[in-house]
Structure 1
Amino acid sequence: MAYYLGIDLGTSVIKGLAIDDAGRILASFSKETPLISRQPDWTEQSPEFWWSSTLEIINLLATKIDFTQVKGLGLSGQMHGLVAYGNDFQVLRRAIIWMDQRSSKEVNQILKTLKNKLYQTTGNPVFTGFLLPSLLWLKKHEPELYKKIARISSPKDYLAYKLTGNLSSEPTDALATAAFDYHKNNWSQKILRSFKLKTAIFPEIKPTLTPYGTITDKVAKITKLPQGIPVYGASDQAMSALGTGLVQPGQASVALSTGGQFLVVAKKGVIDPKRRLHTLNHALPDTGLYMAATLSAGFSLRWFKDLVCNQPETDFKHFTAGVDKIPIGSDGLFFLPFLNGERTPYFNPNLRGAFFGLTSRHKRLHLVRAIMEGVAFSLRECLNVFNELKLPINKVILSGGG
């Protein structure tokens, strides 16, 4: 019997599981990942915490299956973020992740400089929290640290480096940086030159279905994994599409976690003239994948739970118990889930969340249901964009922990 491990570097939780060669889940573990906000609009995480948590999860999985039969390890992870390394490949600072909003001026600089060429080149709008504006922010506000940068990567590529000793990336993650040429399938030299960025700091791009390498002897010793097992990886959205069976045009999924993502498989080359969609690279070659996104799906509920719950250990199942008894429409209470700005269809980091219609008769569960409904309405706005572009949707699969 062959076994395989999977690690997902999420924004809220790092998850790990073991499956057999029939795809049956044999064991799974997870660990919450704290968000660090040292200043307003800043959202960072510790790569070292990612790594220690990954090792902890792998060692827990070792208690459930025979590790001598593990044949491979797959990675998925949050997109857009920035990890910076020095000459010794040590991390120079905390990672700036996709939720970060400090780089609004850099986003405006990118839009002013590149204008329509950005979307034409990358197939994507740019937003705060993307790797390119975050890197420009570092260049301006932390110039001494920027000078020390020898290499950069997306979050999940950091884990691949720690596992294999090889730092590279692949098209599903690279396309989410605002510095990648969708048509040439490589870093855009035009974009890098426009902002005088050092080309050498950007990692080599390998095909998505090519392994990063094999685990190092050090990792094998720490985890008891067999030496020589390969490590593969792709972005969380590409892996979500593959894992939920989105392989044919017309298939779609809604993935709910910290954010909410609406994915649709269609032919390659679709461009939204209003720039409301993300164009993604599917893990499968020559397959188009398009994403509409709402930023604060599960995060909205987590924010409210942390705000009002006096017992942090209370899980979401107990926190939301009884919400089905609240009438549809939450007795006239509405919630806008724009706690961190919004992507589809507005792409406006300055939008803010709100409760409307709040009265003295509303109880805690009314607010909980209003949050859930507000997220659902945001996802409906995503669907409206796909319908407008006449992208066929024959089937929708729900996934995620939201």
Structure 2
Amino acid sequence: MYFLGIDLGSSSIKLSVLDAESGTTISSVSVPDFEMEIVAPQHGWAEQDPESWWQYIKNGIGLLKTKRNTDISKIAGIGIAYQMHGLVLTDENLNVIRPSIIWCDSRAAQIGNSIYNSIGALKCQEQILGSPGNFTASKLKWVKDNQPELFEKAKYMMLPGDYIAAKLTGVAQTSTSGLSEAALWNFPEGRLATEILDAMGISKDIIPEIVPNFGNQAQINPEVATELGLNPNVKITYRAGDQPNNALSLNVLKPGEIATTAGTSAVVYAVSQSDIYDANNRINTFLHVNNAPDDKHNGVMLCINGSGILYQWLRKIMSADRPELISYETLNAEAAKAQPGSKGLRFYPFGNGVERIFNNKEATSGIQNLNFNIHSSPQLVRAACEGIVFAMNYGFDVMKSIGAGGDIVRAGKANLFLSPVFREIFANTTQTTVELYNTSGAEGAARGAAYGYGYYASLDQAFEKLECLERIEPNSGLTAQYAEIYNEWKININIQE
């Protein structure tokens, strides 16, 4: 029996098919064959067309069948992971009303702050474990205030993965963890946070049916099944935001376990059984995928917006806007030519929207101490890697201060964790052991689908085949060196008020 995992990112969409009997991925594709466009009509805005996501996913399913020779009629269940915090508005026929306001869009940050202040900091933190900030709820309010004619047409508010599930099934739904990432979940009472909706003057009727992360959520629409060549009995059996799903992919499910990723953005995600929060809203708490009413599991998360997108920017700049001339492997090799500290060059990777670790303020991005006579491409690339890790460590320190931490961090061997230099910087700056796994968000979504379908009796069984590829231990000689460089870097952060 096969299960399909879909990982909807902001740069690309990955699809993987899991053979549940062997516990191995038999085929994978990534679509499109270029980085998806993020449209910025104004400074601080970031939008994508949800219909284009759907078209790419249909193309990807076709490629699994034609290019990978996968018998997709054997697929029994589908799991969907997706870029978090995006807003998709549709009418009652699931037609998109406006482009999706995605995760790195900053326009609604002030609205979130206003809601937070009107409800009261303590009440907000006790109920939703933070501030509405720049999350989906605030984006919904922005549309209501600034595009009332479009808001009036909206029947459903969904997150990006909910929209893809709706296109597959014809049924509008969202999940409990999805509502928590939208700042619309009351943690103490385990329900929709109607208090936030009331403060925004928005009816709860715009929230579609709420389903758990795992289970028989909805069956595929027969016409869609025919169009795609899927079995008409296929069910959606799992959905989650990309970071909770990344943790699932790495079998990070128990308190004290930590996952990380450094894709377009950089994230550290720790599991806790407590409703913990940071009083300054620098990190965020969401329902983890395995949360249950009688067995609490939360994900405590820090996010740095400028990570892989900084590496992408470097690649374009260094190749005179012809990135095909320079590969990411070339960048990794350049970084390896420089010594720790990059000869004093410092990089601040805050150039992709407001940053949560600065309470949704914008931090000045840029390069410091650049000397044209001593710095060249190796120092530039290594300083970028150091800056990304230092920003992650800045948030990691906040997580540890509220009781969410650990000594071992798991990551997929992908994106920036393909770089030996990046891995060295991470292990020695955070002073943690890094475990690398050969997995992906799409594979994790497929395993989640198999468990949600009931093929696996437990999540432990679902991850029996997951193996650690490599462990990177901190080096006592390097940890002190990186601590000194990090402290210098931290002193010079410039936050715009």
TM range (shorter): over 0.9
1:60 corresponds to which residue? Answer: 63
What is the CA–CA distance in structure 2 between the aligned matches of 1:183 and 1:157, rounded to whole Å? Answer: 25
Partner residue, 2:431 = none
Structure 1 stretch 224-233 or stretch 273-282: which is displaced more? 273-282
Match of 1:23 in 2: 23
Q: Which amino acid aligns with 1:201?
A: I
Shift of 1:387: 2.4
Q: Secondary structure at the match of 1:73?
A: strand
Q: Does 1:382 pair with 2:385?
A: no
Shift of 1:241: 1.4
1:340 deviates by 2.6
CA RMSD of superposed structures (Å): 1.7
Establish whether residue 292 from structure 1 lines up as the match of residue 305 from structure 2. Answer: no
Instruction: Tell me if 1:351 matches 2:363.
Output: yes
CA contact (8 A) 2:217 2:235 kept: yes
Residue segments in structure 2 that go unaligned for 5+ positions in a row: 417-497
Q: Which has the higher helix share?
A: 2
Paired with 1:326 and 1:135, the residues of 2 have a C-alpha distance of: 46
In the alignment, is residue 81 of structure 1 matched against residue 80 of structure 2? no
Partner Cα separation in structure 2 for residue 306 and residue 110 of structure 1: 39
TM-score, reference length from structure 1: 0.94
Where do residues 205-284 of structure 1 align in structure 2 (5 Å cutoff)? 205-231=210-236, 232-284=238-290
Match of 1:107 among 108, 112, 124: 112
Q: Is the 8 A contact 1:82 1:96 kept in 2?
A: yes
Is the aligned partner of 1:12 residue 2:11?
yes
CA shift digits 1:55-101 (9 cap, x unpaired): 11111112322223222111000111100112332101110001001
Q: How far apart, in 2, do the equivalents of 1:210 and 1:51 lie?
A: 23
Other structure's SS at 1:41 match: coil
4+ residue runs over 4 A deviation: none
AA partner of residue 344 (structure 2):
G
Counterpart pick for 2:209 among 204, 208, 211: 204
Q: 1:112 to 1:257 in 2, by over 3 A?
A: same
Deviation at 1:8, TM superposition (A): 0.4
Once the two structures are TM-superposed, the CA of residue 383 in structure 1 deviates from its matched residue by 2.1
Between stretches 105-114 and 90-99, larger displacement belongs to: 105-114
- How far apart, CA to CA, are the structure 1 residues paired with 2:243 and 2:44? 24
Deviations 1:160-192 (A, max 9, x none): 000111111111211011222223333212211
The farther-off stretch of 367-376 and 284-293 is 284-293
User: What is the CA deviation profile of residues 320-347 of structure 1, one whole-angstrom value per residue up to 9, with x for unaligned ones?
Assistant: 4332111111111101111134545322
Q: Which has the higher contact order (CA 8 A, sep 6+)?
A: 2
Q: 1:124 aligns with which of 119, 127, 130?
A: 130
Distance 1:89 1:228, change over 3 A: same
User: Structure 1 391/143 Cα, relative in aligned 2: closer, same or farther at 3 Å?
Assistant: closer
Matches of 1:118 and 1:147 in 2, distance apart?
A: 27
Residue 377 of structure 1: how far off its partner (Å): 0.4
Residue 319 of structure 1 and its aligned partner are, at CA, apart by 4.0
Q: Is the 8 A contact 2:348 2:366 kept in 1?
A: yes
Q: Residue 83 of structure 1 contacts residue 91 of structure 1 at CA under 8 Å; is this kept in 2?
A: yes
* Among 59, 65, 69, the residue aligned to 2:74: 69
Shift of residue 136 of structure 1?
Answer: 1.4
Contact 1:335 1:371 in 2 (8 A): yes
Q: 2:377 aligns with which of 321, 346, 364?
A: 364
| CA–CA distance in structure 1, aligned partners of residues 131 and 23 of structure 2 | 36
TM-score, normalized by length of structure 2?
0.77
Q: Take 1:123 and 1:68, find their aligned partners in 2: how far apart are those partners?
A: 43
**AA in 1 matched with 2:388:** V
Counterpart of 1:328 in structure 2 is 340
List runs of 5+ in structure 1 lacking aligned partners: none
Aligned to 1:398: 411
Matched position secondary structure for 2:215:
coil
CA positional deviation for 1:281: 0.9
Task: Give the match for residue 323 of structure 2.
Answer: 312
In terms of mean alpha carbon deviation, does 41-50 or 191-200 score higher?
A: 191-200
Q: Distance in 1 between matches of 2:14 and 2:269?
A: 21
Identity of aligned residues (%): 29
Mapped contact 1:344–1:381 kept (Cα < 8 A): no
